[in-house]
Structure 1
Amino acid sequence: MTTTHLISGGARSGKSRYAESLALQHGGAVCYVATAERRSDAAFAERIAHHRARRPAHWSLAEVGRNLGEALLQAAPGSLVLVDCLGMWLMRFFDEDGQFDAGAWQQQRSSLLAVLAAPPAQIVLVSNEVGWGVVPLGAETRHFVDELGRLNQDVAAVCQRVTLVACGQPLVLKGAA
């Protein structure tokens, strides 16, 4: 049986490292699905380099655009797909002016949830937990927080396992530890 596992936590909580540790324990092939857009920002490039340095060279890499669900359908049976992260994927639906492509988002979001309901492989998804602070002042930021919060809830509902990571420590919220 293939399983799905959502791992959520705040910035620098250790969620990606925890997800990678689970993938390292997998006996079969691992595909790392990177969802972030490449940017010229030096600090962001440094974060990407840090993530790359932690990954074993034998893991395959898929850089996806908006079509995450379609990319997951390409997974080989018996493999593990690690998606990092859902927040960066959501950012692909906002343009440089902060406009949100609601139609494309709803279509791709539905596609992802359908794949997670019947996954072709073991899937581990990393996401940011962004709703624990104050309500953001900017409309674009509030919209992002609202959409990611709703996405996390819906993904958690279809996943067999859900883990919250805080201070590098995993707390199982759903499923077996």
Structure 2
Amino acid sequence: MAGVYKLEITETEADLKQRLGSQKTASDKERIQLLYLLKTGQATTVQSAATLLGRHRVTVQEWLRLYRRGGLTALLTHTPRTGRRQSIPLWAQEALNQRLHQSEGFNSYGEICQWLKTQLGISAPYKTVHQLVHYRLKAAPKVARPVSVAKSEERVEAYKKTR
């Protein structure tokens, strides 16, 4: 019969139930739950186990393949997901962070883009620079606006009192 698994689960039902409660991540719980469903007979085929878990049949088969090869430790071992490389490397981020905390600072994000290109040789889009500076480095490139020479503190206080 297609879909019938040929697997000897060495752990006991009680051991699997105890491990199910002690798992920290949802993906580890699902993997232990797969073994528990098969061991208790609640799922008799890979397809029925996949349906009960809400996973694709191929995913469940991959988990069972991992279990066959290395047991429970292989089943619960995850490969790290590295993601895409950052367009602005860490050393450049540190240099930019130091430059942002200096007194002269930058007037705009466009000026930061120019500085990265001329000083560090890194070409980065405006949006990338904005997200890096504003959200990751928690900095602002803006400098204080110049104050008019003709501004009178007495007139400012008088205006505040009338408002």
Compute the TM-score of the two structures, normalised by the length of structure 2: 0.19
When Rg is computed on C-alpha atoms for both structures, the one with the higher figure is 2
Looking at secondary structure, tell me which structure has more strand per residue.
1
